[in-house]
Structure formats: structure tokens, C-alpha cells
Structure 1
Amino acid sequence: MLVRNGSFIVAVDGSRMSIFRNIGEAFKPSLELVEEHQNPRFKSSELGDDRAGRNAQSSSPRKGAYEQTDLHQQEEDRFSREAAERMELLMKDSTNGLILVAAPRALGMIRQYIGPATSKQLSAEIAKDFGPHDAEPLTKMLEKYEA
């Protein structure tokens, strides 16, 4: 994959975001870590203690329950929105390209919150849950990736 010199590579999953810059050649990238953000892991009791709601209709003896809200997923979605906001700030004054590597759900959330100017600077979107946010495995993956 072509990764221009000076391009930013952002790797995001539900709880971590790492921003790298290519300081190498286009087809032989060398990534340096610019910044890293981590979403703290909360226990369910810290996120909320609400139980699912109940529904009882007076005209029927049947009772029902509402689906339990996934508080951890809501927290991951919030982190994805913050990642999109950080990307907006990063690309505001930049003329370099941007490559986004994100877990599929995080990628969908980020797409909703980035503006048109940042979208135009996106060279590639890679829907991959990239667990280790180290430069070396990410570099190898980018070298092998075909857009």
C-alpha cells in the first residue's frame, strides 16, 4: 500500500487509539508514534446500576421487560466519537494524508462524526481490529495491504 511520507496512520479499537506518522518511504513505511490515548476500563457497576425496565399492561396478565442497555458498548461508542474529534483536530491544519485502521464497529462510528474535509484526506479505511498498537506489526500490515 502507498503510504506517503508525512501521512498519519490512526489505529482505533473500542478502548485505544494510537496515532503514527510515516517517516519512511511511500512503499516502505517507517512509523513513529505521535500520540496514544486509552479509554479507561470501567466495571459495570461504575457505568451504571440500572436494571432493565419492566412493562406491565393492566389489560393483560402478561408482563415484559425492556432489553438491557449495553453500557460497555455505549462507552466504546463514546470513545469512537472522541477519536473522530481528535482526528478532526489533527487534520485541520494538515495537508498530509490519513489512513484509518479501526475495528468495524468503531470505523462505522468514526465515519459518522468526521467532517467532509477530513474525509477527503482519507487515503484508506481498513476495517480491522488491530489489537497491538505497536508500529512494527502495523507497518507490516500496511506493506501487505492492497487497497
Structure 2
Amino acid sequence: MKTWIVVVNRVEAKVFESDGKGHKGDVKFIEKLENPRGRLKSQDINADKPGFSPGVAGHGGTKEKAQSPTDRVSQMFAKRVSEYLEEARHANSFDEVVLIAAPQFLGRLRGMFSGPLRDTVSMEIPKDLGPAVTGPDLRDRLWPAPEVRYEL
């Protein structure tokens, strides 16, 4: 059984594959999807102030955006990750998916998944592990080795 482990936040997604042997197995790196705009702050993405709109009886007001620029960039990246996983599902690249994502991003991803893709998700962990995560790190977090007890 092929298990993909997807570690994602608004800046990047790392895809790993587990050979299904748990703590004795291997977790290898497959691919990295990057979203450099995810590092930017709202003012850097959209430096313009809200536009001015003439209102009723000459009273104007500002046009506020319904979604912040950082939310929009994050939403677009969630869609990209979802499409990537959907293509991989169609290609039978995995049997199940373990999602490890920053809590807010995890919610965005869930909203993008089709029913069949959602059915392949075997575990969700709402945690941002950051960019330095490696295959052995994931193996140890997901499938810790059983404690060895020595009796005298």
C-alpha cells in the first residue's frame, strides 16, 4: 500500500511516500511545490489602498476587498495542491494520503478536495512542521518505534 504524506503550509508543500512498513520502513521525498508569494505580507502583495467609490447623494466610501491578498494567495495555492493530488489520485500514485498542514491551511485544503480524494485521506494532523522536515522526521513522528523494555 502506497501512502503519501503531504506536509503543507501556505508557502510550500512537500510530498513524501511511505513504503507502508511503519517505524521500520522508509519515507522518501517525492516532490516539492512552492508558493513564494505565500511568504509576502498583504501590503507587499497588494500595495494599493482600497479604491474610492462615489456613493449615494455624493457621499463616497472605500471599496473594501472581501478577501485579503494573503488569503487569496493561500487559497490559490490550496487549489494548486488539491489539483496536484487529484491528478496523482487519477494516476494511482497512492492508495492513501496523510495530511500534515497548518490548521488554517488544512481547512482550505479540505474545501478544495473532491469526494473521492477526500476518501483517500487516512489521517490529518493540524500542525505546521515548517520547511526543514525530512522523511526520517516524519517516520518517527507518525510511526514511533515501540519502547524497548528490559526486565532484570
- Shift in CA distance, 29/103, structure 1 to aligned 2, threshold 3 Å: farther
Contact preservation (8 Å) 1:15, 1:39: yes
How far off is 1:139 after superposition? 1.8
Contact preservation (8 Å) 1:92, 1:118: no
Question: Aligned ranges for residues 97-116 of structure 1 at < 5 Å?
Answer: 97-116=96-115
Structure 1 counterpart of 2:19, from 18, 23, 38: 23
Structure 2 counterpart of 1:82, from 71, 80, 91: 80
Question: Distance between the aligned counterparts of 2:24 and 2:82, measured in 1?
Answer: 27
Contact preservation (8 Å) 1:29, 1:143: no
Contact preservation (8 Å) 1:48, 1:71: yes
Q: Residue by residue, what CA displacement relative to the aligned partner does 1:11-56 show, whole Å, maximum 9, x if unpaired?
A: 1100101111112513434210111111123755763332124577
Structure 2 length normalisation: TM-score? 0.75
Q: Give the unaligned 5+ runs of structure 2.
A: 145-152
Corresponding residue number in structure 2 for 1:136? 136
User: Which is helix-richer, 1 or 2?
Assistant: 2
Q: Residue by residue, what CA displacement relative to the aligned partner does 1:51-79 show, whole Å, maximum 9, x if unpaired?
A: 12457766798x86565653123212211
Aligned residues: 139
- Secondary structure in structure 1 of the residue aligned to 2:47: coil
Q: Residue by residue, what CA displacement relative to the aligned partner does 1:109-129 show, whole Å, maximum 9, x if unpaired?
A: 111111111111111111111
Q: Residue by residue, what CA displacement relative to the aligned partner does 1:79-105 show, whole Å, maximum 9, x if unpaired?
A: 111101111111123261111111111
Structure 1 length normalisation: TM-score? 0.77
Contact preservation (8 Å) 1:56, 1:64: yes
Contact preservation (8 Å) 2:3, 2:20: no
- Secondary structure in structure 2 of the residue aligned to 1:49: coil
> What is the percent sequence identity of the aligned residues?
24
Question: Distance between the aligned counterparts of 2:77 and 2:43, measured in 1?
Answer: 19
1:139 maps to a residue whose letter is R
Q: Give the unaligned 5+ runs of structure 1.
A: none
Between 1:19-28 and 1:51-60, the stretch displaced more is 51-60
- Secondary structure in structure 1 of the residue aligned to 2:24: coil
Larger radius of gyration: 2
- Secondary structure in structure 2 of the residue aligned to 1:73: helix
RMSD between aligned residues: 2.7
Structure 2 counterpart of 1:10, from 6, 9, 16: 6
Question: Distance between the aligned counterparts of 2:64 and 2:143, measured in 1?
Answer: 44
Contact preservation (8 Å) 1:11, 1:101: yes
Contact preservation (8 Å) 2:19, 2:26: yes
